[in-house]
Structure 1
Amino acid sequence: MTKAISLRVDYDGTALRRLAKKAKDAAQVRRLLALASIYDGRSRQYASEIGGVTVQIVRDWVLRFNERGRPAGLINTKAPGGRAKLNDAQRQALAKIVERGPIPAVHGVVRWRRKDLVQWLFQEFRVSVDETTVGRELKTLGFAKLSARPRHYAQNELEGEVFKKNFPAALAEIRKKCAPGTDIEIWWADEARIGQKNKVTRRWARRGTRPSAPHDQRTMWAYIFGAICPKKGKGAGLVLPYCDTEAMQEHLAEISNAVDPGAHAVLILDQAGWHVTPRLKVPDNITLMFLPPRSPELNPVENLWQFMRDNWLSNRVFKDYDDIVDQCCRAWNRLVDQPWNIISIGMRDWAHRS
C-alpha cells in the first residue's frame, strides 16, 4: 500500500478551521475542513467524505496545499486554455497593416474585411485562423469598426504636426502681450449646417434586418455657430440663417461675453473666408489663431457636431425653418448643460498641456 503524503508542519487543524470560517469560496472551505481532519489524525477516507470526493482527489489537495504553501492554493484557478494562434510579432504586424489600410491595386479591396486579413495572415505567416479569431485579436489590439471621416486629398499631414509642435510657443507669445497674471482660455470654434436633408445615423437593430429612418428631401437649413472652452467646460453658440462675416461678428461678440472677466481667449478656428477677412472686428479679449489648411481633424468642435447629430439632430424631419432653429437651439443648450461632455470631447493633450 502506498504511504500517505504528510501535510506541511507550519499549519494545524485549528488554523485551517479558523481560515475556513473566513473563506468565501465554498470549494476552498470544503478542502480546508477535509485537510483539518487529517491534521487531527483522521483517515484520508474520512477526509474524502467531508469533501465529498474520492481519496485520490484528497491526495491532490494535499499536494497542492504542500506545493503552494498557502490556503489560497486550494482555490480553483482559471484554466490556461489553448495556445494562442498568433504570437506577439504577428499581432504587431497585423496591427500595422490594419492601421495603414489596404492598397487597392495590391490587395484588391478598399477596406479590410476579416476574411481579407485571414488570407493575409496565411500568405504572410502561413498561419490558418478563422474570421472570429481575427475579430477577437483586433478587439484585443484596440481596434473597432468606425466610420471614416472624409479627408481632403491635398491635405499636408506635416503641417498639422508642425502646428501642434509650435502651439506652446505661439501661446506663449500671446501670453506675453497680455497683462501679467492674465488667465488664458483656449477656445475652439466652427460652424455646422443643419437642414431638412438630414443625416441618417447608425442604430441598434436585429441582425439580418436593415432599419429605416425618415429622410427629408427638402433643402431648407440653418447654421450653428459653436465655440467651446474644453478646460472650463463652457460654450458659446448662435443659430443663424447665413454663414458670412456678419454672422461671424455676432458669434465673436457671444464668445467675448462668455470669456471669464479679466481672462483672455485664444480662439482656434479654420481659415474660412468669414474667419480671416479684415472686415472682422475682433474683441479685445480674443486673439484668433488659425489652423493649417484642410485640417479639420485638429478642431475638436468637429467631434462635437458628430456627437450632437448622433444624439439629438439626426433621424428626424424638420417641419420648416423655425423648427430647424428650435431643434438646433435645444441641442446646443443641452450640450452647454453637460460640461462634462464638452470636457471629454474637446480636451486635446497637445493643446492643453501648454
Structure 2
Amino acid sequence: MKVNSKNDVLALAKAEQNARKKLRLLAVYHFLDGKNRTQIASMLVVSRRIVNEWIKRYLSFGLDGLESKKAKGREPYLNEIQKLKLAKFVEKQSVSATGGRLTGERIHRYIVDNFGVTYHPNSVYKLLESLGYSWITSRSKHPKQSQNNQETFKKVHPETILNTPFNVMPKDMDIWFQDEARFGQQNTTTRVWAKKGTRPRAVKQQQFEYAYLFGAVCPRNGRTEALITPYVNKEVMTLHMEQISKATPIGRHAVVIMDGAGWHTLDTVQPFDNVTLIKLPPYSPELNPIEQVWSWMRQHHLANKSFKGYDDIVNSCTKAWNCFISDTKRVIKMCTRAWASVGTN
C-alpha cells in the first residue's frame, strides 16, 4: 500500500467535487493526523461504523479504495437469449400484413406466455427502448409494390448509360430528383405543442382552389428548380425541364429521376440535349426524396393554414419552398441517396 502524506490527502479533499468522496478523504486525512475513529466520526457527523469501513478500504487499497462502488442493480427479468427472441417477435409483427398494431399489452402477454415473467406495463416500454425500439409511425406502401424492382432500380449506373447520349461520361452526369405536389384549400392539419388535456382546433377549409408546385433537386450540389402553376400537363412539364436544362452547367448532363405520372413523358426532354429522363419503378414514391421535401414544407409552413385564394396559396408555397432551399446543407442532406451516384463528380 502506498502511504500518502496527510497534506496531499487534504489537498485532494479540497479539490474534490463529489461530496461523498470528499467526506471519505477528510476521514483519511484526520486518521493520518492522529485522530481516532470515534473523534473522526464526531467531527464529520457520520457513524463510527462507516469511518471504520473507509479506513479499512484505505489501508487495504490506498486512495483507490475510496472510490464509489458501482451499484450492482437488480438482475434483469429476461436474459440475453430471451431478449433476442422478443426482438425477433417485435420485428416480425412490425412488418406483418395481417392488420392491427402491436400494443404494449400484447407484448406483455407474449412475455408472460413465453418466459413466465410479469412486467409492469410501463416497464414493457422501457424494455423495448433498451432493445432499440421506439413508437413510430409506419410508412405506407402500395400492395403492388415490388421490392426486387426497387433494388434493381437502385443500380442506376447501367440504365443511366443506356439512356444518355453515348458521348456523355458518368463523371459528367448530375442526378436530379423531380416531382410535383398539390397544395390548396383542402389543406392538411398537423401536430402542435399544446397544453395537456386540450386539443387545439385548426381551420380545415372546404373550398377547392389549388396550386401545383413542380420541384427538382440536385443533391450533388444542392441546386434546385421550382415552378408553380394552376394545373399540370406536358407543356408545364416541358417548362420545368427547360429550367433544369438551363441550370445544368456547360459540359454536364442532367439525369432527372421521376415517377410515372401521365405528363412525365420522354418528349418533354426532347428539346434539350443535356437532359435525360428516367422513371422510378411503379408504386415506389419512397425512392424519390422530393416526397420528404413536400412533407417538410407542410409540417413547417403550410399545415394548419387557411388560404384566401389562389394567389395566397402561390405566395405561401413560394415562401415555404424558398425557406427550404435557403439552407443548401439541408437540401443536400435531405435529398442525398447513396445509391443515386453514377460517377465521381
Choose the corresponding residue for 2:86, options 91, 94, 104: 94
The answer to whether the aligner puts 1:53 opposite 2:46 as a matched pair is: yes
The answer to whether the aligner puts 1:117 opposite 2:107 as a matched pair is: yes
Amino acid of the structure 2 residue aligned with 1:137: L
User: What is the aligned partner in structure 1 of residue 246 from structure 2?
Assistant: 257
Amino acid of the structure 2 residue aligned with 1:61: W
1:252 touches 1:282 (CA, 8 Å); kept in 2? no
Q: 1:272 Cα deviation (Å)?
A: 1.9
3-state SS in 1 of match to 2:267:
coil
The answer to whether the aligner puts 1:150 opposite 2:121 as a matched pair is: no
Amino acid of the structure 1 residue aligned with 2:241: L
Equivalent residues in 2 for 1:1-354, closer than 5 Å: 8-65=1-58, 70-71=63-64, 74-76=66-68, 79-101=71-93, 110-164=100-154, 166-170=155-159, 177=166, 182-281=171-270, 283-351=272-340
Q: Which moved more, 1:20-29 or 1:331-340?
A: 20-29
3-state SS in 2 of match to 1:302:
helix
Q: 1:306 Cα deviation (Å)?
A: 1.0
Q: Please give the alpha-carbon distance, in whole angstroms, between the structure 1 residues aligned to 2:313 and 2:27.
A: 74
Unaligned runs of 5+ residues in structure 2 are none
1:187-233: CA deviations, max 9, x gaps?
21111111111111122334444332110111111111111123433
1:53-92: CA deviations, max 9, x gaps?
1221122223444566544x53546634322223333333
2:212 touches 2:232 (CA, 8 Å); kept in 1? yes
Q: Which moved more, 1:20-29 or 1:306-315?
A: 20-29
Amino acid of the structure 1 residue aligned with 2:124: V
Q: Please give the alpha-carbon distance, in whole angstroms, between the structure 2 residues aligned to 1:196 and 1:115.
A: 40
Q: Which moved more, 1:229-238 or 1:288-297?
A: 229-238
Q: Please give the alpha-carbon distance, in whole angstroms, between the structure 2 residues aligned to 1:95 and 1:275.
A: 43
Higher relative contact order (CA 8 A, sep 6+): 2
3-state SS in 2 of match to 1:350:
coil
1:136-164: CA deviations, max 9, x gaps?
22233333333333311111112112222
Please report the RMSD computed on the Cα atoms of aligned residues, expressed in angstroms.
2.9
3-state SS in 2 of match to 1:148:
coil
Amino acid of the structure 1 residue aligned with 2:316: Q
1:101-122: CA deviations, max 9, x gaps?
36586xxx61112112212222
Q: Please give the alpha-carbon distance, in whole angstroms, between the structure 1 residues aligned to 2:211 and 2:254.
A: 27
1:33 touches 1:50 (CA, 8 Å); kept in 2? no
1:30 touches 1:50 (CA, 8 Å); kept in 2? no
1:185 touches 1:266 (CA, 8 Å); kept in 2? yes
3-state SS in 1 of match to 2:175:
strand
TM-score normalised by length of structure 1: 0.84
TM-score normalised by length of structure 2: 0.86
Q: Please give the alpha-carbon distance, in whole angstroms, between the structure 1 residues aligned to 2:60 and 2:269.
A: 79
Q: 1:347 Cα deviation (Å)?
A: 2.3
